[in-house]
Amino acid sequence: MTASSDDSSSLGLARWYDLFSRGARDWLRHDEKVREAVREHLPKIIANGDVINDSARSVRVPVRMLEHYHFRLRNPGDSQGVGQGEAKPGDVLADGNPDRGSEKGEGGDGDGGIQLMLEIKIDDIVDWLWEEMQLPNLKARVGPSDDSDWVREGWDRRGARSRLDRRRSVKELVKRQGLGGPKTFTDEDLRFRQLARRRQPAVHAVVFFMLDVSGSMSDRDRKLAKTFFFWVVQGLRREYRSLETVFVAHTTEAWEFAEGDFFQVTGTGGTVASTGLNKVREIIDARFSPARHNIYLFYASDGDNSIGDHAPAKEALDDIATKACFSGYVEVASGLSRQLATETGRLFGDAAADGAPVASYVIDDFDGVWGAVRHFFNAEAKALG
Amino acid sequence: MSEPITGPAGDWRSYVQNMEELAARCGMNFHPVEFEAVPDTFMMEIAVYGLPVRMPHWSFGVRYIYQLIQRNMGNSRLFEVVFPGNPGHAYLSNGNGMAENVLVTAHVLGHADFSRNNLLFRRCQEQVSEHIVEHAASHARQISQAIETHGPQRVEAALDAALALEQHIDIDQRLRRERYPEFLPDPKALVDDDFRRRFASLDPVAAHGVFETKKRAPVPPHPERDLLWFIAHYAPEMESWERDIFLAVREESFYFYPVFATQIMNEGWASYWHARLLREADFIPPEAYVDAIKCHSDVVRPMAADQQVALAVNPYHLGFSLWEKIIEQQGLEAARRIMQEDDDFGFVRNHLTREMAEELELFRFTARNDGQIKVMDRDLHGLHEALLAPKYNFGAPNIAVSKLGNDGALELEHDHVTDGRGIDVDRSRKVLEYIHRVWRRPVTLHTVDQGGAALALASQ
């Protein structure tokens, strides 16, 4: 009945609750669940154009705390309560705010709905994307090189001294001690890292991003294109150990740009797609042999190409199609979508009809970016499969 | 406030025994209590989990963060948490000052007196045993083992469902209940006449076949409100470890119910006693007494110091005021009898009188969806109902199992007449999904929509 006096500090002993927080543990599990939930809204995240900062390796996504649901009565229009203090019937203690009504109705749990910012690694998103789309592994046209590499794989009880995994070995010791074995290391406890030889996927790839920067392309169009390109790079990086990127912008002329400048470029005047396509051709011929590189081309435009350019552009595209694994045309039409019934749309449509590895897609808004990524990578997988 | 605990000597602990003796002299009757001073962080966890050691679940993580935010905003402070039992366990915050802890010790003894003598507590403790703290710890262990064997996802699915239904128990039934009888009593078997006896003597086997065919009893034989128990026993495809999880949650709910249903009485009783024991404790140095009384008035005040009006009733204040009045008018013996027999429903209805309501300046208000709050009236019956409404049925809608189909389909019926309105459709769908994941056959809930028309919600 007396108060216990085993004060932790006086005995110099830590109690279990000093070392371990259940609340934190369960909070971490909540955090994981939020991530899973966010994952289900992947298209939305991808649609978020602000996600892409050149150097950012993560994305911040606002999320709500999860609610563990219980059966509850429907929210009554008015609720009643009991208060205490100097007040007469008819007194108004708080004024109504007509704006609040709608806000409160939808699932607000009355806790003021704390918002969290969740930081998600771009790599994770790409992982999810890949699983989500269940893409057959993209096959490289240029066969795998002979490159192979040693990778770590599993543990064994025997091995070279240099591969001894100390942490793992101590674990074994502890396990055995738990079963009442001797307290010193024996050979039985030692664990060595094993290596296995793994073939590396195709190594060299180059992706051309070609952007129409003519006067008709609005800022929004350019941003749509940029978002799309961003995810394409992420996707291809996954497949190729060394991925080079080449950025080409064109109006009636074409230029190669560094990535940093590429999206800032604004041009004026008309659109002659063949200039851009020829520039790509030139660069391929000069720097990337199709025999040693897997070549990709993605072209973003609003579709307005000058009428007279059809033949030269077709010729250039056909030539590229023989050298590239895949060419994609994405029509960014934030203003009015003509569903590829444009000059450039026809150009790529014709090439596809000829059986070239070419596909087209329209992006009207940011939500469409997801569809585009999915479309191209499935199409590409098919074209190569 | 006063000096912090510096060591085992010369601090609040030295008064515990005096306080216990004084309490006993005042007629209080309690099991021994083990006091432990713990860090604030742990206090917070106890408050979040409701028990010092409890099963893991992500929803506790959410509550934990809310608590953490509240604490950082300085909104709440926990002095103590008590667990009834024999012995009882009291956790005191390390951050309490010496005088605060003297007060808290007296307060804890009030709770210990209450939980040992109140009928509802006694009934529940008889069933759950007097060792809920230890039981909860063993549930937690059992669930960690399940996680190791069956993986975190599957255990979480079972806990999602079980904890979502934690209020849906039937406190009028026993904790350990038998399954329903499998067969209906056979009315024919009771008939005993010459013909039947003769027939039976001629061919016992045939007679058995003709006259004693048993009829299967329907399941459930009556609407079953104990959803946790029903699911644990009648789910067609649940595994035994999942049933154990449901029963573990149910046992903890049996423990939580009296705490929930007597909060006003219980906190009031403890507050009455800490005030009185403090007054009579001549062994406390006068400066500690002053500090402790200041702390007392902080705890039982009806509203924050700078406010004229509060939009919630502080249960400490309400309970404390009612007990003071009862003891003043009817004497301690009568008060002890009330303490033993009532729960908050009886306590408020019988003892929150017209005069008391006026003295406490209680009023009823309506809060509109757009935030407007308006004082309605001081009608006594209305006050009783508004105070007690959140307490009916463990604070949950009345939902009972109405039918178990031959195909294993589960049908739930919401008693919207008693509850006065239908159910929150979106949330209920989610709960049905939780249930479906362990029931593994269709689950349907019948309620009414906004217009009062019948509405059936189905899982998926």
- CA B144 to CA B83: how far, in whole Å? 23
- At B401 the three-state DSSP class reads strand
Cα nearest neighbour of B372 on chain A: A96
A31 CB neighbours in chain B (<8 A) are 61
Partner residue facing A3 (CB), from B13, B362, B422: B13
Which residues make beta-bridge pairs with B410?
A: B404, B443
Contact A277, A323 (CB under 8 A): no
- The answer to pTM > 0.90 is no
First to last CA, chain B: 56
Cα radius of gyration (chain B) = 26
pLDDT of residue A137: 42
Chains A and B form CB pairs within 8 A to the count of 247
Contact B61 A28 (CB under 8 A): yes
Confidence of residue B113 (pLDDT cuts 50, 70, 90): very high
Cβ–Cβ of A70/B164 closer than 8 Å? yes
Q: What residue of B is the nearest CA neighbor of A68?
A: B59
Sign of CA dihedral A329, A332, A337, A343: negative
Distance from CA of B208 to the nearest CA of A (A): 48
Give residue-wise pLDDT tens across range B133-142.
999 999 999 9
Strand partners, B37: B92
A56 confidence band (pLDDT: 50, 70, 90): low
Q: Hey, is the C-beta of B310 within 8 angstroms of any chain A C-beta?
A: yes
Contact B369 A88 (CB under 8 A): no
Please say if the pLDDT value at position B2 is more than 50: no
Q: Which residue has the higher pLDDT, A150 or A73?
A: A73
Whole-number pLDDT of residue A10: 38
* pLDDT confidence tier of residue B254, bands split at 50, 70 and 90: very high
| DSSP single-letter state for residue A184 | S
Q: How far apart are CA A18 and CA A8, in angstroms?
A: 9
More confident residue, A165 or A142: A165
- B contacts of A81 (beta carbons < 8 Å): 311-312, 364-365, 367, 386
| B420 backbone φψ class: left, alpha, beta (φ>0; ψ -120 to 50) | left
In terms of Cα–Cα distance, which of B228, B191, B195 is closest to B212?
A: B191
pLDDT of residue B3: 36
- Concatenated DSSP letters for B119-138? HHHHHHHHHH-S-HHHHHHH
> Among partner residues B13, B45, B372, which is closest to A95 by beta-carbon distance?
B372
The predicted-structure confidence for A70-93, as pLDDT tens digits, reads as follows 999 998 878 889 999 888 888 888
pLDDT confidence bin for B436, thresholds 50/70/90: very high
Which residues of chain B have a CB within 8 Å of the CB of A101? Answer: 369-370
Cβ-Cβ contacts under 8 Å for A90 (sequence gap 6 or more): B374, B375
CA distances from A285 to A329, A356, B250 (A): 21, 19, 74
Q: Which of A71, A92, A117 to mutate to test the interface with B (most CBs of B within 10 A)?
A: A71
> Rounded to whole angstroms, how far apart are CA atoms A383 and A357?
6
Q: pLDDT averaged over chain A?
A: 77
**pLDDT at residue B36 greater than cutoff 80:** yes
d(CA B288, CA B300): 18
- Contact call for A71 and B367, based on CB within 8 A: no
Least confident residue range of A9-13, B125-129, B361-365:
A9-13
B426 contacts A10? CB cut-off 8 A: no
Three-class DSSP category at A21: coil
Nearest-by-Cβ selection for A3 from B35, B313, B373: B35
3-state secondary structure of A219: helix
More confident site: B110 or A39: B110
Residues in chain B: 460
Measured CA to CA, the distance from residue A132 to residue A129 in angstroms comes to 5
From B140, which residue of chain A is nearest by alpha-carbon distance?
A22
Which residue of chain B is at minimal alpha-carbon distance from A91?
Answer: B375
Packing angle, helices B263-280 and B315-341, rounded to 10:
100
Instruction: Check B397 against A71: CB less than 8 A apart.
Output: yes
Question: Which tens digit of pLDDT belongs to each residue from A327-367?
Answer: 889 998 766 666 778 888 889 999 888 888 888 888 887 77
Predicted pLDDT of residue A34: 85
Give which of A4, A65, A70 to mutate to test B binding, by max B Cβ within 10 Å: A70
Mean pLDDT of B119-130: 91
A114-141 pLDDT tens trace: 677 777 777 777 777 666 655 444 555 5
Q: If you count DSSP H runs as helices and E runs as strands, how many of each does chain A have, helices first? A: 13, 12
Q: Contact B312/A24, CB-based, under 8 Å? A: no
The answer to whether the Cβ–Cβ distance between A80 and B389 falls below 8 Å is yes
Residues of chain B positioned with their CB less than 8 A from the CB of A104: 369, 371
**Cα–Cα distance measured from residue B434 to residue B428, given in angstroms and rounded to the nearest whole number:** 10
Q: Which residues of B touch A107 (CB under 8 A)?
A: 426-427
Q: Is the pLDDT of residue A6 over 60?
A: no
Choose among A4, A81, A111: nearest Cβ to B34: A4
Residue B34 has pLDDT above 70, yes or no: yes
Q: Which of A84, A111, A114 to mutate to test the interface with B (most CBs of B within 10 A)?
A: A84
Distance between CA A229 and CA A302 in Å, rounded?
15
Contact B65 A114 (CB under 8 A): yes
A266 neighbors A289 (Cβ within 8 angstroms):
no
Confidence bin at A98 (pLDDT 50/70/90): low
- Give the pLDDT band (50/70/90) at residue B123: very high
Mark which residues 338-397 of B lie under 8 Å from A by CB: 360-378, 383, 386-387, 389, 396-397
Q: Residue B399: closest CA among chain A residues belongs to which residue?
A: A71
Q: Which pLDDT belongs to residue A116? A: 74
Query: Are residues A83 and B66, on separate chains, in Cβ contact within 8 Å?
Result: no
Report ipTM (2 d.p.): 0.88
pLDDT at B333 over 80: yes
Mean pLDDT of A148-159: 76
CB atoms B61 and A71 under 8 Å: no
Q: What percent of chain B has pLDDT over 70?
A: 93
Q: With contacts defined as CB-CB under 8 Å, which chain B residues touch A20?
A: none
